[in-house]
């Protein structure tokens, strides 16, 4: 088990109240040392909120493996009935994770203000996989999976007091923060939308950090960032996991320094991505000032529709969007293939990104929940399971659509409405999740795409795709222009798919 040797130092049930010394890396600990009793061997003595009978003890003395409160699961030891709060629980990932963690025995609570439902409605779009209202979702979770979810409708930015009361009441041991607007294109519509996204994301997260400080500072915060924060540097230098390793050396003027521990440069690609970068800095600072513990999860693009829990009943399904604002690439390609719109590559279509399947993303989150960071630790992981170019994905969808579903799938290149390099090197590191937290991807792209075809070809979903096909083609230009993109080229698929086969043998993967 990857977390067997973690100790109470990592555990959210530890109570360090008043015994810590907030400071920066170069700041003296002297002031604090005045109170030092030199006969004491371990200064930080802690209490356990779950096992008060232990009294004051050395938090390094007990490992997760030894503690009866930590129980074995396939994803690591997890706290018995762990209290997990999901912010943004009504969303694509939030709902899926709620059911996943509930099935593992966690006590799940959650918050949402239905922003996402409203934003999608405002754009004249809809989720192609129909989803129930929250009260029906909650009832179905109980009825079908025997999961109780404690839900409150709260806006984490404007209703800070209510959120604080709820957190104080539940005392979550882990807080998963998904409650943000996830759309680059939405943030580029106009000034109102850019402000809406930045205000909601940046200020919501900032408010949350203060609330955690004041209510549950020992709780682990898992906050979602995105691989898009890094951009795609044309030098091809690796995209490290958020922080430079000590072996990264800066040479200048004949001298050299280790960059170890410094945040790596960010080059966001939309005002949405800027909001995520700002979040990163706010979380980083909060860990430094207040000893909060956080994983900043630089997540790749998620694709797919499946976990065992969401597939257990139509009322348990999670949302899936394909419109130009909220539809992510693979999900959108499969929908286009199903209704006969040629898959749309923007520009050259040679953009390369990191991806991960919905189910695998849930497993990664669980593994991280199982291994909370240490006090004050700001840790970053790149959460992806493979690297692919847009073209490669289009070929894969086209091939599966043609061969297994007998659909005449075509691919077109259209004008790129974004301001981005459409041909660039890309070397992302994603070693921590496999090496430290024992994650191995379980879902292949082909397998999940096949599942999506199966679901999208059911009459109800197919009808819902048809109903909103006019919102798939982008009209939101980063330049501010308002017009539908024009086709540049319809690709000759035969040769391209053969080329793709060669590419696959070759593997763009690391």
Ligand X SMILES: NC(=O)c1ccc[n+]([C@@H]2O[C@H](COP(=O)([O-])OP(=O)(O)OC[C@H]3O[C@@H](n4cnc5c(N)ncnc54)[C@H](O)[C@@H]3O)[C@@H](O)[C@H]2O)c1
Catalytic residues, by residue number, are: 226, 272, 276
227: enclosing H helix or E strand = none
Gap between the Cα atoms of 275 and 182, Å rounded: 10
Select the binding partner of residue 265 from another protein, ligand X, none (C-beta < 5 to 8 A, by kind): none
Site of interaction with ligand X (CB under 6 A): 88, 90-94, 111-116, 155-157, 178-180, 182, 200, 204, 224, 226, 299, 301-302, 328
Pairing, β 47-48 against β 14-15: antiparallel
- Answer for which of 1, 15, 21, 420 binds another protein (CB under 8 A) is 21
State which residue, 262 or 460, has the beta carbon closest to another protein. Answer: 262
Size (the chain), residues: 510
- Answer for which of 74, 124, 260, 425 binds another protein (CB under 8 A) is 260
Residue 308 CB contacts under 8 Å (≥ 6 apart), including other chains: 103
Gap between the Cα atoms of 71 and 137, Å rounded: 28
**Stretch 118-177 residues interacting with another protein (CB under 8 A):** none
Select the binding partner of residue 496 from ligand X, another protein, none (C-beta < 5 to 8 A, by kind): none
Select the binding partner of residue 116 from another protein, ligand X, none (C-beta < 5 to 8 A, by kind): ligand X
Torsion of CA 124, 156, 286, 65, to 10 degrees: -100
Q: Does residue number 30 form part of the binding site for another protein (CB under 8 A)? A: yes
To ligand X, the closest distance from the beta carbon of 451 in angstroms equals 17
To ligand X, the closest distance from the beta carbon of 97 in angstroms equals 9
Instruction: Identify the bridge partners of residue 224 per DSSP, sorted by sequence position.
Output: 297
State which residue, 300 or 376, has the beta carbon closest to ligand X. Answer: 300
Torsion of CA 47, 48, 53, 55, to 10 degrees: -10
Nearest-CB residue for ligand X: 91
Instruction: Identify the bridge partners of residue 388 per DSSP, sorted by sequence position.
Output: 353
Instruction: Report residue 236: phi and psi, to 5°.
Output: 80, 10
State which residue, 5 or 442, has the beta carbon closest to another protein. Answer: 5
Select the binding partner of residue 462 from ligand X, another protein, none (C-beta < 5 to 8 A, by kind): none
User: Got the DSSP string for 134-160?
Assistant: HHHHHHHHHHHH---EEEEE--TTT-H
* Biggest alpha carbon–alpha carbon distance for the chain: 79
- Answer for which of 136, 153, 258, 444 binds another protein (CB under 8 A) is 258
Q: Which pairs with CB-CB distance under 8 Å and at least 24 residues apart come from 282-290? A: 282/202, 282/205, 282/206, 282/209, 283/205, 283/209, 283/221, 283/223, 283/378, 284/378, 286/209, 286/212, 286/213, 287/376, 287/377, 287/378, 288/24, 288/376, 288/378, 289/22, 290/22, 290/209, 290/213, 290/217
Residue 257 CB contacts under 8 Å (≥ 6 apart), including other chains: 249, 250
- Answer for which of 288, 315, 402, 475 binds another protein (CB under 8 A) is 288
Half-sphere exposure of 346 (CA within 13 A, CB side): 22
Site pattern 218..257 for another protein (x: CB under 8 A)? -------------------------xxxxx-x--------
**Stretch 32-71 residues interacting with another protein (CB under 8 A):** 32-33, 36, 38, 40-44, 59-60, 63
State which residue, 291 or 456, has the beta carbon closest to another protein. Answer: 291
430: enclosing H helix or E strand = none
- Answer for which of 7, 331, 382, 476 binds another protein (CB under 8 A) is 7
Q: Does residue number 352 form part of the binding site for another protein (CB under 8 A)? A: no
Q: Does residue number 281 form part of the binding site for another protein (CB under 8 A)? A: no
Select the binding partner of residue 226 from another protein, ligand X, none (C-beta < 5 to 8 A, by kind): ligand X
Q: Which residues bind another protein (CB under 8 A)?
A: 3, 5-7, 9-10, 20-21, 25-30, 32-33, 36, 38, 40-44, 59-60, 63, 243-247, 249, 258-262, 287-288, 291, 371, 373-379, 436
């Amino acid at each position: 088990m990857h977390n067997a040797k973690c100790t109470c130092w990592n555990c959210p049930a530890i109570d360090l109240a008043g015994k810590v010394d907030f400071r920066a890396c170069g700041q003296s600990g002297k002031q604090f040392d005045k109170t030092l009793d030199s006969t004491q061997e371990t200064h930080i003595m802690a209490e356990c909120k779950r096992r008060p009978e232990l009294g004051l003890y050395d938090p390094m003395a007990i490992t997760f493996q030894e503690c009866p409160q930590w129980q074995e699961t396939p994803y690591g030891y997890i706290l018995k009935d762990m209290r997990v709060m999901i912010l943004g629980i009504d969303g694509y990932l939030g709902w899926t994770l709620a059911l996943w963690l509930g099935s593992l025995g966690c006590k799940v609570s959650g918050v949402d203000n239905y922003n996402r439902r409203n934003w999608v409605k405002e754009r004249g779009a809809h989720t192609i996989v129909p989803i129930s209202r929250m009260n029906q979702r909650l009832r179905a979770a109980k009825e079908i999976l025997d999961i109780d979810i404690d839900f409150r409708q709260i806006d984490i930015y404007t209703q800070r007091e209510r959120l604080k009361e709820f957190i104080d009441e539940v005392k979550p041991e882990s807080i998963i923060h998904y409650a943000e607007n996830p759309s680059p294109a939405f943030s580029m519509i106009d000034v109102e939308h850019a402000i809406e996204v930045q205000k909601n994301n940046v200020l919501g997260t900032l408010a949350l950090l203060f609330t955690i400080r004041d209510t549950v500072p020992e709780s682990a915060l898992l906050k979602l960032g995105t691989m898009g924060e890094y951009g795609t540097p044309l030098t091809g230098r690796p995209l490290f996991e958020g922080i430079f390793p000590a072996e990264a050396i800066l040479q200048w003027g004949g001298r050299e320094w280790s960059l170890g521990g410094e945040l790596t440069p960010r080059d966001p690609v939309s005002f949405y991505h800027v909001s995520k970068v700002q979040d990163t800095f706010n979380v980083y600072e909060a860990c430094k000032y207040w000893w909060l513990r956080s994983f900043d999860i630089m997540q790749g693009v998620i694709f797919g529709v499946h976990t065992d829990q969401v597939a257990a009943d139509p009322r348990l399904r999670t949302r899936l969007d394909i419109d130009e604002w909220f539809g992510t690439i693979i999900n959108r390609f499969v929908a286009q293939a199903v209704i006969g719109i040629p898959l749309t590559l923007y520009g050259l279509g040679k953009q390369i990104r990191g991806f991960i399947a919905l189910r695998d993303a849930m497993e990664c989150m669980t593994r991280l929940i199982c291994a909370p960071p240490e006090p004050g630790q700001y840790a970053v992981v790149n959460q992806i399971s493979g690297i692919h170019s847009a073209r490669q994905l289009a070929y894969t969808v086209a091939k599966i659509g043609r061969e297994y579903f007998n659909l005449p799938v075509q691919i077109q290149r259209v004008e790129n409405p974004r301001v981005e390099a459409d041909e660039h090197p890309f070397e992302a590191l994603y070693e921590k999740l496999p090496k430290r937290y024992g994650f191995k991807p379980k879902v292949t792209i082909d397998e999940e795409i096949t599942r999506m075809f199966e679901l999208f070809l059911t009459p109800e979903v197919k009808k819902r795709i048809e109903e909103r096909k006019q919102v798939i083609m982008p009209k939101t230009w980063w330049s501010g222009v308002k017009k539908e993109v024009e086709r540049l080229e319809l690709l000759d698929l035969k040769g391209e798919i053969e080329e793709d086969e060669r590419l696959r043998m070759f593997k763009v993967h690391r």
